Structures are given as structure tokens and as C-alpha cells.
Amino acid sequence: MRAKEKRAADSYGDITTQVIDVKGQKLYVATKPGKPGRVPLLMFNGIGANLELGFPFLEALKDTPTILFDVPGVGGSPMPNLPYRPASLARMAKNLLEILGHDQVDISGVSWGGGLAQQFAHQYPRICRKLVLVATSSGWTMVPGKPNVLSKMASIKRYTDKGYMKSIAAEIYGGDFRRDDTLIGAHASGMRPSSNAGYMLQLLAMTGWTSVPFLWRLKQPTLIMSGLDDPLIPVANAKLLHRLIPKSRLELIDNGHLFVVTRPQETADMVDGFLLEPHD
């Protein structure tokens, strides 16, 4: 059963949000229409990130229909009855797509969401046409960032305390945040505090998970994007994904971890170009 659709802030055009009941779990979902005939893009956000943070990128994908939802315990989606794993979240996303009437989509994932995107592509190869991996890794097998950076990333305080977020943004995100200290203000203004429990569920979901055993089996054309100045997920991780995924392309961006946030139009143009390429 769906709640009444609500139009997002006027600055984000045709994006609408609604609460959808997916087999007993309510999910807060954002959708944006696109050009008729285009395959929709289902996006998975980073850890602790509410869907509103993805609105600038969604809007920049002018002709691409897009879907983005808050995972249980984050943003507008209530806590689940039980903890989840990447496989169960992928199944939940598939069930959501069935409710929305889509039998094939492209999949993208940013950072933590990139792991979920890999899992979905592996679990549902007939549904996932193309794959876009942004600033992400293969899970526990990743080449880690510096310990002091990872410890700050793992703390929910960066989402609950905007002052703290501003003080550490350059250190943990790199790239444009090092060059322009006003950027984090715009990013922080869109944050919707996650609960401690919801954030912990996301951390625990990926504990011990890795995509390495199945990456070589992925058949989808894959675009891998990585910032050259990413303190959280060093570029070596993107190179590993590129080496293991057969039909992959690697694009290195002269930026940090959140180039999709600081340069949404440039990133969207690259993604859209890839999605429009002929698919065999």
C-alpha cells in the first residue's frame, strides 16, 4: 500500500517522494520521470546518506528516469524488524521495482551503496542491464584509507552534528572540499539525521562481505568512477574492480570521494553517456 505521493522541493523539478510498503517494510522512495523509452536507473546511496542528498544528481540526469530509496533505518524509512545483509537488501530493492512496474533497470551505487549495487547485479543479472560504481570497493577485501579517516567516517556524528561534519569534510572527502570550504555547507543542509541503530545496521550489513568471488561472473557493461584524491576509498580499489569485472571501464576523476555531490552535472553527463551507449 502506498502513501500519497508528494512533490519534492520546487528546486528539484519533477522529483516526487512517497512511502511504499514492500512486503511489510515501509520504504521512503524518490522517483523522477525521464524520456519515454529510457531504462530507469536505480541508485543506492552511501552509508547514512538520506535520499535528499542525491537530488542534485537526480535532477542533473535530465532524460534518465531514476529511483532512489532510503534503506531501513535511514532518512524516511523506519527501522526493520530484523538486521539485513546485502542479499536481503537487494531482494528488497527487486520487490520495490516490481511494485513500481519495472522488469529491467540500470543500477548505480555510491560508496557503501556501490557494494549493494554489485550484489544486486550478481543476484539479479536479468534485471540489471548496466552497472555504475562510484567511489566504491569490493568490501572487506578493499585497500583501506588511513585509519584516522576511516574512524571519522564510521562515526554517525558526521550526520548528526553539522558543525562536526564541516570540520572534517576536507580530511575525509578530499577533492573539492579541500579547495572550497563553502561546499560542505550546501551538502550539510540536505542531511537528515540517521538514528544510531540505523547507522549501525548499515555498518554491520557489510561486515565480512566481499564481491571478489563473483566479480568475474558479472556480465553487465560496467562504468567504474573513482576520485584521485579519495581519502576514504583509495583509487587502488577502483583499479581492482576494473581488473576483475570483465566488461568494465575505469574513469579516474581529478576530485575526491564525493565528486557526485560537488559536481553533479559533470558526473551525470558521464553516467548518462555510458547508459546511452548501445547494449548488446
CATH of the domain at 83: 3.40.50.1820
Given a cut of 80, whether residue 257 has pLDDT beyond it is yes
The percent of residues above 90 in pLDDT, for the chain, comes to 71
Decide if 31 is inside a domain. Answer: yes
Decide if 75 is inside a domain. Answer: yes
pLDDT per residue as tens digits for the range 139-186: 998 988 777 787 777 776 766 677 777 788 888 888 998 888 777 776
The pLDDT, as a whole number, for residue 186 is 66
Decide if 181 is inside a domain. Answer: yes
Active-site residue, selected from the candidate residues 77, 111, 226, 248:
111
Domain residues for the domain of 166 are: 6-276
Decide if 168 is inside a domain. Answer: yes
When comparing pLDDT for 30 and 163, which is higher?
Answer: 30
Given a cut of 80, whether residue 10 has pLDDT beyond it is no
Q: Is 137 a catalytic residue?
A: no
3-state secondary structure string across the chain: CECCCEECCHHHCCCEEEEEEECCEEEEEEEECCCCCCCCEEEECCCCCCHHHHHHHHHHCCCCCEEEECCCCCCCCCCCCCCCCHHHHHHHHHHHHHHHCCCCEEEEEECHHHHHHHHHHHHCCCCEEEEEEECCCCECCCCCCCHHHHHHHCCCHHHHCHHHHHHHHHHHHCCHHHHCCCHHHHHHHCCCCCCHHHHHHHHHHCCCCECHHHHCCCCCCEEEEEECCCCCCCCHHHHHHHHHCCCEEEEEECCCCCHHHHCHHHHHHHHHHHHHCCCC
The pLDDT, as a whole number, for residue 223 is 98
pLDDT per residue as tens digits for the range 184-208: 776 666 666 667 888 889 999 999 9
The pLDDT, as a whole number, for residue 222 is 98
Rounded distance, CA 257 to CA 254, Å?
Answer: 10
Total domains in the chain come to: 1
When comparing pLDDT for 97 and 200, which is higher?
Answer: 97
Single pTM value for the model: 0.91
Decide if 92 is inside a domain. Answer: yes
Decide if 1 is inside a domain. Answer: no
Given a cut of 60, whether residue 1 has pLDDT beyond it is no
The pLDDT, as a whole number, for residue 187 is 67
